Amino acid sequence: MPRTVVTGGAGFLGSHLCEELLALGHEVICIDNLSTGDTLNVAHLTGENFTFIRQDVTNFVTIPGEVDYILHFASPASPVDYLERPIPTLKVGSLGTHNTLGLAKDKGARFLLASTSEVYGDPLVHPQTEDYWGNVNPIGPRGVYDEAKRFAEAMTMAYNRFHGVETRIVRIFNTYGPRMRLNDGRVVPNFIKQALRGEPITVYGDGSQTRSFCYVDDLVRGILALLFSDLDQPCNIGNPNEMTILEFAEAIIRFSNSKSKIVYEDLPEDDPKQRKPDISRAKSLLNWEPSIYLDEGIKKTTAYFKDRV
């Protein structure tokens, strides 16, 4: 039975990964300090093959016994969270990555880093390929997250090259689905919450900025394909079906049968104007591409939020 550690395992993505790894026959050790995670996300996973440890991975991490895989997903991920927690965000990307890589080195485990499309910043290349170095403002308000992930990638590759640790880097694009926090500030829960309550839906700027939305089940499938592959270079995982934020707001209203109207507010500083993954690497080397259409994913996500609004 493979033994796998998931940091940030009680969060949105981490909990789905824990669930799928258990289904694949792994023993799963979930580590989370619950700053943005929630034990309710993993409450249904209790059993002899699942262990929850409440810990901040910016402190030294030790796990008794053998470990085969480490998936480092601990980090605030929404702008609301990392703007409220700028220093912990920087610390989990630097110290947390260092500590978990050290654990991987000690255990001889394969290490997967959850990076992000934010390493591309406000991109000057479209769509974004893995060889694009990005356009990031290191001293802007979003820099605490962007640069934490860019540093984490550099640290991961250093452990790969210098210590011979088997590493994988996934660059995650916008993802949505059940277990997102209702008030995490990201566009999907914001729009669905407002639509279900019949409140005005807030679009920043004129809504012409684009995003690409991937349903969580597709993302988890792509992450695990990368984990079990031989690819040690960064890999984009996301849905290349690009749409404007205004189009997305209109889709949410339509799928939820809401009577909400759209209102406009000023665009936040350094908000990316375009975001679309080039997934050629994932398609050719992992045989992966998303398969869940937006209407199906939004209906499942809306059903989840209906009980929580």
**What is the spatial distance between Cα 138 and Cα 231, in angstroms, rounded to a whole number?**
28
* Catalytic position from the list 82, 120, 145, 159: 145
**What is the spatial distance between Cα 83 and Cα 145, in angstroms, rounded to a whole number?**
9
Sign of CA dihedral 154, 89, 234, 110: positive
**Which residues in 293-308 are b (16+ Cβ under 10 Å) and which e?**
ebeebbebbbebbeee
* Pure H helices in the chain: 12-23, 79-84, 86-91, 97-107, 143-163, 187-197, 216-227, 245-255, 280-285, 294-306
Tokens 């409440």, residue located = 54
**What is the spatial distance between Cα 308 and Cα 296, in angstroms, rounded to a whole number?**
20
CA atoms within 13 A on the CB side of 26: 24
Any residues with CB less than 8 A from the CB of 52 and at least 6 apart, and which? 9, 10, 30, 32, 39, 42
**Is 145 designated active site?**
yes
* Residue 47 one-letter amino acid: G
**What is the spatial distance between Cα 153 and Cα 228, in angstroms, rounded to a whole number?**
19
Helices 187-197 + 245-255 axis angle, to 10? 40
Write out the catalytic residue numbers: 145
